[in-house]
Chain A
Amino acid sequence: MDAGWLFLIPLVPLCGAIVNAAFGARLQRRFGRHAVSVVAVGVVVAAMGLGIGAVAQLAALPARDPALGRVLVDRVFTMVDVGGLRVDFTLALDALSAVLVLVITVVGALIHVYAVGYMADEPAYWRFFACLSLFVFAMLVLVLGDGFVPLLVGWEGVGVCSYLLIGFWYAEPKNARAGMKAFVVNRVGDWGLFAGVALLFWAVAGSWSAIDHRYYFDVGHVQPTLSFRALEQLFGAPEFAHAFAAKTIFGAPVPLVVSLLLLFGACGKSAQAPLHVWLPDAMAGPTPVSALIHAATMVTAGVYLIARLRFLFVLSPAALDVVVAVGLVTALGGAMLGMFQYDIKRVLAYSTISQLGFMFVALGVGAWGAALFHLVTHACFKACLFLGSGSVIAGMHRLTHARHTGHLDEGVESETDRHAMAAGDDEHQPAQLDPRVEADPTDPQDMRNMGGLGELMPRTRWSYLVACWAIAGFPWAAGFWSKDQILAAAYGKSMALWLVGVATAGMTAFYMFRSYYLTFEARPATAAHRRHVRESPAVMTSVLTILAVASLVVGPLGAWLLAHVTGDFAAHEAAARVTAGLMLASVAMATLGWAAARAFYKDEAEHAKLRAANRLRYENLHAFAFDNFRIDELYEATFVRGFAACARAAAWLDEVVVDGVVHALAAVTRGAAWLTGAIDRLFVDGAVDGVAALVLGGGRAARRVQTGRVSHYVLGMTMGVVLLVVWASWW
């Protein structure tokens, strides 16, 4: 159904971005930062309103052909129309996009509000919000775009915004490098994406002969297209799907190859193994960025892509198995790595990677609805967790800043403090969690510098706790519903799969509660903490509260909504019944994880005792796992150094060999020129000079007759006369 106003949904944030980029600095100077806030938050809220309106309109459409589903379409303009290809910039809202639009705009709006508080002290306030609005625009284009071209515009757009926002504080080289790493790793994945798109484009309309390796169009004149709706229609016809599944390229089935290539692209964006290395480093960006981009939205683009192209993936069971494998490895790996981190944001980063792995597993076993559901719930509680950590970091920042500048002793207020100061025990010592790794006392993100913040930041603490409850999958909260659906679907596929999934869920509970206990409990807050760490302003904590409530509520609410709005979406879904037994098992596992975390980390004193009793042997894995299984080093040593070496080799080749040939030719020419010149000088000119010399010499010789003596002349005359006479007489 035509809805010509859909383009407004991404356009409004774009306008906000342009206004803030062009005039933000001026607005901020004249009217204060709230001028910028109003613009930024306003446009996101407007987009949210428009999005909700669109979804309502979509839901009101009568249900139609289950293969097509209900959809609102807006053909904005034609981008390309040549020969065999027509690409329209079309926005389409169907069930899948609707869910994502809601996530992006609602969670996005909340995070924008939070960022108003979080970034309050930032001088480049306007630049932050300009980039953030631009990001919302790009993400909306990504999910609303009907076709690979709008998708790619959004895909790369979010990549650029991610780059700009990770490196927001670009004066620090580490941040700039992190931004570049994110972009380049995404680009590596994009190689697969582009190749997959190109292959899909041509494979739809024809195939390559295995004999002469040439491309031939199929009889039937299917027009190759890049539009998702057109592709869905094509693949909806069973004969076409079968014919497509039978095509091969280099002996491998085309659907498999295309799916794997697109999966590679999705891995890049969604931080799945082996392209996950950028996400932990991306935590260098401001926390709202981590929440919005690297938890709720951008990293879900890969999930979205595969869900969007499910009609392709179902044609290749092998590809789906690969998806499951990738998701599983990532989920497990991410969970294991999360258990050992000290930086609170890194814990959350690995948690994100792990949860995305769960989503990929869901996609791979055919539980499309479950994957989407988990995406939504994950957005809620992960955003809450990140924002909560942001609140903690903001509070800790005051402490570490004071420590850094040596003003730790300021603000001594109470008697208790004075005593503590005198006794010398207000100085916070980093928790001795692992004597092998040094803690940096000025790092506001290091959990070893925290502890006991629960009493100082109650609202943050409770929302964080609720979110941990949700992510661990305890009853009633969001994770419970979505994760269990995934696990049930996995169980339907294979028992081993389910076991690994449940184990990962247990690890999730463990590391999340570990981070909770280390941050908010572990020990009573020291005086230094009490002096400098405060609860965050209401603008931030209210968002936390809303998200915490959402994490509780979105479970059942979402299940109901999904069934209604996306009923047609789940039409392909493998029916999964969450049996009581499975539910119990996963809750039990979660409880186990929580209990372990509580035992090890709730109380610092207990922790020290356990360490002394050598009960914490699992931490031997620490050195290896701490550093991302040393994958970063591996990539650095192989790809990065290899690439740099190739580049240097190419440059050397260019300067010495290729240019060397040119210079050699030039030298040969110069030599030939010298030779020719020599020949010219010696022989050609020599001949000329020789003649002249001959003439001169002859003349010199002949001149000697002229002696100037009269007697000689007389003799000459006489001889002449005699000769004449002789000659005359003979003649």
Chain B
Amino acid sequence: MTAIALMMTLLSVTPSSLTFDGAGEKLLHVRNDGDAAVRIERAELAPGSDGFALQPTNGRVLQPGESYELRVAFVPDGRHAQAFGGVQLHAADGEVTAVAVRAGGSWLLTLMIFFPLVGAALVMLAPRGRHALVRAIALGTSLVPLAAALHAVAHFDGAGGLQFVQHVVWIPAFNVEYFVGVDGLSILMVLLTALISTIAILASFGIDQQVRGYFALVLLLETGMLGTFVALDFFLFYIFWELMLVPMYFLIGIWGGPRKEYAAIKFFLYTLVGSVLILLAIIALYFHAAPTALVDGTPVQHTFDMLKLASNDWAHKGLTLFGCDFSRVVWVAFFIGFAIKIPIFPLHTWLPDAHVEAPTAVSVILAGVLLKMGAYGILRVNFAMLPAATEWAATTMTVLGAINIVYGGLCAFAQTDLKRLVAYSSVSHMGFCLVGMASFTDVGMNGAMLQMFNHGTITAMLFLLVGVLYDRAHTRQIDRFGGLAAAMPRYAFVLGLGFFASLGLPGLSGFVGELLVFLGAFAAHRVVVAIALFGVVITAAYHLWALQRVLLGRWNEGWRDRAQFFDLTAREKLTLAPLAAFVIVLGVWPMPLLRLVGPGLGELVRHVLG
């Protein structure tokens, strides 16, 4: 038995990990600390160690006590601002010693994700009853991720691939890493999330019950949302994904409207079912991934790394699951899970109830950000990891998107509750995203991404406006209003702006995304897109009809006190102004956004088609 124990290779490497600050060369000293000679087969860089070079790579024999040097060089290729990799020493007995090498490594995203948690803790520690203090803490806390997101956007290079990366091993026993970074797919979503969260917190100043709990939950939610968009390790992604559910449940269930418990539990269970499917699919991919290495070079049989999973060719592994092609089954599982979030007909019925019963700011977050997670998930997972299956499902996705557009629009028309109408309009708009994504053209894909961002801002504006009306009137029934434009002219202007943006008026931001989506998708699916185009008419119809019944016409005599409908307050204007600015500017000048996401999405399209 002693003989077996001594067979373990005892190589020590100094230093235990290398960090580069720019181009350069560093040395690794490898020493044989054991009693027997060790034959090193080869030294090599772990898969995924772009930008690093290693010398020498040939094998040699190390006597006990002997050491030798390895030179590791880092040559930044301009594409990646951060690089992570590992050096692997393969010994003759199969043992592999791994040393992590890294260059750069940005703390920005980690700060951005976890700062709201700190804020949540601070909020909970505040003394009871000091509402103003709590609100100030929450608002101040939310400004930090916003600043970080703006910094990231300002310094983001559209053609630069993954940026602001932080990549370390977290749980070696399960091959889990802490891997975060932004690329073309997520940069806009990060900005949107930070912006909408700040605005939502500002809009929540009207909450006066259990204020600390409310803001703590919102900040926790913000952590979950930001984390989901930047996580590139599946385990981490799933943790953040689930992290969003619980605060949402409580936010709807405690501070919501009359049917809050029903809406909260419906939302929670519906999303959870999807999450279970996602989890199963993640595990399936995990176990069938090609062997690779962790970021520090440790070779592993399975991995959660989303980028490495994307480089596996799933369609040609010859795997089957339940008798069908493996990649297609997994694709469907992921798709259903994300489709519930988007939401896609027929998995959308949680949305109207959740939106209507949730308080205003929660609706803003729900519609502005959470819906985009489904679309982001489909891009990040279904498109990037399972391209062959995505091509197979293209027509289905387009048809579902078209159904969303038309059906959502029709349902919106029949609503009597203004908030429900806006909720169904969200269903309709997300259909555009799906059609654009399924078009497999640069034009369509960019349109879908633009639509995701623009819909976030527009719909956030609409929910804020509905919230303003509800604050004044304590009802959302459209028929109870009328002639409000005379009493609230500024509100009428902004509501008109929001509605026209939502119906896709050229010159406002809703149009650009829609146009690109239609153009992009038309080539591949003429008839379906032609049918989806009727959405243009339907959308105009219900928006204008609602506008007319609420703002125009005669004053509804049911309201005795006209003064209760006072115009926008300063705080309300502050929440609406940035959104309105985005809506107007991006309507004529979407280039800044397109510069950020264009190259990344183009690569994704080529990846899917190629």
* A touches B in complex, CB < 8 A: yes
**Contact in complex: A171, B486 (CB < 8 Å):** yes
Q: A79-B590, A149-B515, A194-B518 are in contact. Are A643 and B349 (CB under 8 A)?
A: no
Are the CB atoms of A658 and B506 closer together than 8 Å? Answer: no
A-contacting 9-mer, from B27-35, B145-153, B186-194, B545-553: B545-553
Q: Is the interface of A mostly helix, strand, loop or mixed?
A: helix
Cβ contacts under 8 Å, A167 to chain B: 552
Which chain A residue has the least Cβ–Cβ distance from B500? A160
State whether A201 touches B519 (Cβ < 8 A).
Answer: yes
Proximity bits, A147-184, B CB within 8 Å = 1, else 0: 00100110111001001000100111101110110011
Residue on B nearest A202 in the bound complex, by CB: B523
Is the interface on chain B under 10, 10 to 19, 20 to 34, or 35 or more residues?
A: 35 or more
Contact of B506 among A80, A155, A644 (CB under 8 A): A155
Instruction: Encode B403-443 as 1/0 by CB contact (under 8 A) with A.
Output: 00001001111110000000000000000000000000111
- Give A512-558 interface residues, CB cut-off 8 Å to B: none
A194-209 interface mask toward B, CB cutoff 8 Å, 1 = contact, 0 = none?
1101110110001010
Q: Once the chains are docked, how many angstroms separate the CA of A337 from the CA of B345?
A: 46
Contact A190/B512 with A176-B553, A658-B346 known, Cβ cut-off 8 Å: no
Are A80 and B590 CB-contacts (below 8 A) given A85-B516, A184-B537, A187-B540? yes
Tell me how far the C-beta of A29 lies from the nearest C-beta in chain B, rounded to whole angstroms.
14
Is there contact, CB below 8 Å, between B540 and A81? no
Measured CB to CB, the closest approach of chain A to B272, in angstroms, equals 12
Interface check A15, CB cutoff 8 A: no
Q: Using an 8 Å CB-CB cutoff, how does the interface string of B536-572 with A read, 1 for contact, 0 for none?
A: 1110111011001001111100000000000000000
Report yes or no: A198 in contact with B518, Cβ–Cβ below 8 A: yes
In the assembled complex, A592 has its CB within 8 A of some CB on chain B:
no
Contacts of A658 in B (CB 8 A): 345-346, 348-349
- B107 within 8 Å of A (CB atoms): no
The verdict on A654 contacting chain B, using a C-beta distance below 8 Å, is yes
Complex contact B522–A199 (CB within 8 A): yes
Complex CA–CA separation, A208 to B526 (angstroms)? 10
A650 with B414, Cβ < 8 A, contacts A82-B602, A156-B506, A170-B551 known? yes
Q: Is A681 an interface residue when CB atoms closer than 8 A count as contact? A: no
Which segment, of B93-101, B228-236, B527-535, faces chain A? B527-535
Contact assessment for A84 and B443 in the assembled complex, using a CB-CB cutoff below 8 Å: yes
| Minimum distance in angstroms from B407 CB to a CB of chain A | 6
Given A83-B443, A173-B554, A187-B537, A77 and B589 contact (CB-CB distance below 8 Å): yes
Closest A residue by C-beta to B486: A171
Nearest chain-B residue to A649 (Cβ)? Answer: B410
A191 near B: Cβ within 8 Å?
yes
Chain A residue contacts of B506, Cβ below 8 A: 149, 152-153, 155-157
Q: How far is the CA of A532 from the CA of B352 in the complex (A)?
A: 58
Q: Is A692 in the interface zone, CB < 8 Å from B?
A: no
Give the CA-CA distance A249 to B530 in the complex, in Å: 13
Which residues from chain B contact A190 at a C-beta distance below 8 Å?
Answer: 536-537
B265: nearest chain-A partner, CB-CB: A666
What is the CA–CA distance of A160 and B540 in the complex, to the nearest angstrom? Answer: 11
- Using A153-B507, A173-B552 as known contacts, say yes or no to A83 and B598 having CB atoms under 8 A apart: yes
B350 to chain A, nearest CB (A): 8
Within 8 A of B (CB), among A594-624: none
Contact check, B524 vs A157: say whether CB atoms are below 8 A apart: no
A647 touches B413 (CB 8 A): yes
Contacts of B515 in A (CB 8 A): 149, 152, 194
Q: Which of A82, A157, A188 contacts B443 (CB 8 A)?
A: A82
Q: Tell me which residues across on chain A come within 8 A of B284, comparing CB atoms.
A: none
Q: Are B410 and A662 in contact (CB under 8 A)?
A: no
How far is B536's CA from A188's CA once the two chains are assembled, in angstroms?
8
Contact assessment for A187 and B536 in the assembled complex, using a CB-CB cutoff below 8 Å: yes
Q: Which among A82, A194, A215, A659 has the highest number of chain B CB atoms within 10 Å?
A: A82
Kindly state the separation between the CA atoms of A190 and B505 in the bound complex, as whole angstroms.
11
> In this complex, what residue of B is CB-closest to A654?
B411
Q: Are B544 and A183 in contact (CB under 8 A)?
A: yes
Contact, CB under 8 Å: B537 / A188 = yes
The reply on A78 being an interface residue by CB < 8 A is yes
CB-defined contacts of B345 to chain A, threshold 8 Å? 658
Query: Are the CB atoms of B553 and A173 closer together than 8 Å?
Result: yes
On whether A650 and B591 interact (CB within 8 A), knowing A157-B507, A249-B526, the answer reads no
Q: Which residues of A contact B526 (CB under 8 A)?
A: 199, 208, 249
Closest to A169 in B: B552
Distance between B572 CB and nearest chain A CB, rounded to angstroms: 18
* A630-653 to B contact mask, C-beta < 8 Å, 1/0: 000000000000011011111100
The reply to whether the CB of A661 lies closer than 8 angstroms to some CB of chain B is: yes
Is B465 an interface residue when CB atoms closer than 8 A count as contact? no
Q: Which of A160, A163, A171 contacts B483 (CB 8 A)?
A: A171
Q: CA of A64 to CA of B118 in the docked complex: distance in angstroms?
A: 70
Residue in contact with B536 in the complex, picked from A155, A180, A191, CB distance below 8 Å: A191
1/0 per position for B590-610, CB-CB distance to A under 8 A?
110010001001100100000
Question: For the complex, is A498 an interface residue (Cβ under 8 Å from B)?
Answer: no
A180–B591 CB distance below 8 A: no
Rounded to whole Å, the gap between the CB of B530 and the closest CB of chain A is 5
CA gap between A180 and B503 in the complex, in Å: 13
Assembled-state Cα–Cα distance A159/B443 (Å): 27
Expressed in whole angstroms, the minimum distance between the Cβ of A708 and any Cβ of chain B is: 61
The closest CB in chain B to the CB of A167 belongs to B552
Q: A85-B443, A176-B548 are in contact. Are A651 and B540 (CB under 8 A)?
A: no
Could you give 11 example pairs across A and B, Cβ below 8 Å? A80-B516, A81-B591, A85-B443, A152-B506, A157-B506, A157-B507, A167-B552, A173-B553, A202-B522, A249-B526, A662-B350
9 nearest CB pairs, A to B: A83-B442, A651-B414, A176-B552, A650-B410, A647-B413, A198-B522, A170-B552, A187-B540, A647-B414
| Beyond A79-B591, A82-B602, A83-B443, 6 additional pairs, beta carbon < 8 A | A80-B516, A84-B442, A85-B519, A179-B548, A194-B536, A198-B518
| B contact residues vs A (CB 8 Å cutoff) | 266, 269-270, 345-346, 348-350, 352, 407, 410-415, 441-443, 446, 483, 485-486, 500, 505-507, 511-512, 515-516, 518-519, 522-524, 526, 529-530, 533-534, 536-538, 540-542, 544-545, 548, 551-555, 588-591, 594, 598, 601-602, 605
